[in-house]
Amino acid sequence: MSPRNRILGYVRGATASRPRVPHPGRFDGRFLVGDDRPPMERFAEQFTAAGGEVERFVDTEAAVRWLGEFTRGYESVTVGATVPGRLRPALPSTCPDLAPLGVSAAVAAVAETGSLVLDARDGRRTQLLAPTHVVFVREQDIHQTLVGAMVTLQPDLPSALGLHSGPSKSADIGQILVRGVHGPGRIVAAVIREAGPV
Amino acid sequence: MSERTRPSDYGAESARIVRDDPGMRTSITGAVRSKDEKRQAAWAQIDAGAWRDWARDVKTHVLTHLDRYLEEAEDALLRNGVTVHWAETAAQACDVVARIAADHDARRVVKAKSMLTEEIGLNESLEGAGLEVRETDLGEYIIQLLDEPPSHIVGPSLHRSLEDCRQLFHERFGTPLDASPEALAATARRILRNDFLEADLGVSGANFLAADTGTIALIENEGNIRISTSIPPVHVAMVGIEKLVPRFEDLAGLIQLTARSATGQGIGNYVSLIQGPRRPGERDGPDEVHVVFVDNGRTRLLADEHAWEVLRCVRCGACLNTCPVYRQTGGHAYGWAYSGPIGAILAPGILGLEAAMPLPFASSLCGACAEVCPVRIPIPELLVYWRERAVEEGLTPTVDGVAMKSWAALAEHPGAFALASDLVGALPLERTGRKLPVLRGWMGERAAPVPSPERFLSTSSGKEEST
């Protein structure tokens, strides 16, 4: 018999006479963290508290202007595959492990946890390897709860989603907090208010 | 410390640590007190009672339907293009990984922090097969350089101070002895970045695995897990069979509760939700993903009428942080991967009760662990359960066992108890106190108090107390 079938056999034998316990239901509004302020406000508060930065723009035009300023001083960039043309910095493109700056587009954000939801289809190395990471997200894609974001995204999952909720950090050296250990030490959530595609 | 200690060394090791290494005790106590305070603050922001009930019920539901969810998860993983393996024992699990490595002519392995791989001794096994294995979590990296086991489920290096790390990095990488924590971290980042880019294989654990979507969920703060599971061409996830959750959406609650309980954060800085290898149109990600479902004693625990509840554990470490016994020594004294209260009730199932001795006794039964367990595992009751089993099976150290059994028998018979008390009082202890067999170990360095000729319960203070 294969290990698979033996393990499943042990499991069946172990639980055969045990009373079955039902699933307690969705982790829904009953478990809301804190209050129900507008998602943008809560997202900004949580993301900033974790050490991230938040920039808000009324429209793409304003975001483009800010990006021009922000990227001054950088020599090259790695840009996610789904970042729209207008939001791609006017810098030479380089491979993610050499780039000083990464620019991605998030598929969603979460207010209660202050998280950006990044999709593998945008490119994982761009999300992870540059020391500074700028992530564009539409304000309308900020969900109040994590479960809300997950239920929305579930029908079309990529090979991996990454929830990024602040800069990379560690307290493994003498319990002292250090940023930028493996992932980006600086992360900016650039939130665009206007409806429609970023 | 290449000779690993075992649970049976607990008595000597805990004494040695407390006596010889006060610095370690200071590091540990400070670190876990701070974690415990952060958990308290994070729980105060939520309806912790309701969250814990929900999490307990999700995990109990899974454990009472585990065969169904394992099959459902296997189907979902196969649909996602993941290769699924099953391992009954630690040795089988290590063999599976070694075989995957051999199939790809792999030489270099990067590892994301995984307690399951510590449990099964994967690093030693892969190194034995000629592979280069690199831990990439900063804490794991530090203890790998020191050749030490982790001392805490969540913070493997929390027994080491900044000074210890400075000394280590100075010796290994030539950094100055007064280097800042930032400089030390930057050194590790530079070295490990290279390892990530050159690795043939990335090995991770799993915090959870959702049966409906086949999603492997991993929580962390550094980004090394995301990188280990994104850059190497092959990703192997080691998954204890108890890690399943029914639905993708259940992850939302469990991820948040685990983070709040482990570090007091609302969520880990990075959460990976992995659905398999890179798909057409994706520009990066591993070409292959393997999941290894590991039993290694879990079905034995599941079959136990009482002990199965330990399988709800989400490995947050909250019970270690609050435990007055763990706080004195840290994890090394326990002699295996999982320390503290949770380790003491996992050990009898995973190692077998005899090999786990005396860990179920390494607790004062104060109950603090039960107060903080996010999935409401009745840890003190399970400690008592394993103690009773140990006595039944004759596994308690002979002298203690006899003493406990005799005391229990006496305590149940007041007449005999009174008689025994009188007999102790009548012993000529002024001359022979140091020779009492039961107390020899304890009294070697101490003077013996002389028992009162009068029984406590027959004195006036004893009577007042007893009314």
Pick from A113, A147, A160: CB nearest B274:
A160
Q: Give A 56-115 residues with CB within 8 A of chain B.
A: 81, 97, 112-115
Q: Please tell me which of the candidates B54, B138, B252 has its beta carbon nearest to residue A24.
A: B54
Instruction: Pick the more confident residue, B279 or A195.
Output: B279
Closest residue in A to B278 (Cα) is A159
Measure the CA–CA gap between B436 and B370, rounded to whole angstroms.
37
Provide the pLDDT for residue B408.
57
User: What is the mean pLDDT of the segment spanning B190-205?
Assistant: 97
Q: Are B262 and B321 in contact (CB under 8 A)?
A: no
Please report how many Cα atoms fall inside a 13 Å half-sphere around the Cα of residue B199, on the Cβ side: 30
Mean pLDDT of B307-329: 97
Before B22, cis peptide (omega within 30)? no
Structure tokens that stand for B251 in this block: 């992850």
Closest of B431, B309, B455 to residue B373, by C-alpha = B309
Distance CA B75, CA B248 (A): 15
pLDDT, tens digit, 9 for 90 and up, residues B207-229: 999 999 999 999 999 999 999 99
Coil, helix or strand at residue B449: coil
Q: How far is CA B203 from CA A100, A113, B78, B231, in A?
A: 27, 27, 19, 11
* Average pLDDT rounded to a whole number, residues B14-43: 93
DSSP 3-state of B171: helix
For residue range A66-95, list pLDDT tens digits in order: 999 999 999 999 999 999 999 999 999 999
Calculate mean pLDDT across residues B152-175: 96
pLDDT above 90 (res B396): no
- Across the interface, whether the CB atoms of A159 and B252 are under 8 A apart is answered no
The reported pLDDT for the residue numbered B6 is 95
Question: If you average pLDDT over residues B284-294, what whole number do you get?
Answer: 98
Regarding pTM above 0.95, the answer is: no
Residue of A nearest to B282 (CA): A121
- Residue A182 and residue B187 in contact, taking contact as beta carbons nearer than 8 Å: no
Task: Using alpha carbons, list the distances in angstroms from residue B244 to A83, B46, B112, B318, B412.
Answer: 35, 25, 19, 21, 45
B438: distance to nearest CA of chain A, Å? 41
What torsion, rounded to 10 degrees, do the Cα atoms A158, A43, A71, B197 define? -40
CB A110 within 8 A of CB A162: no
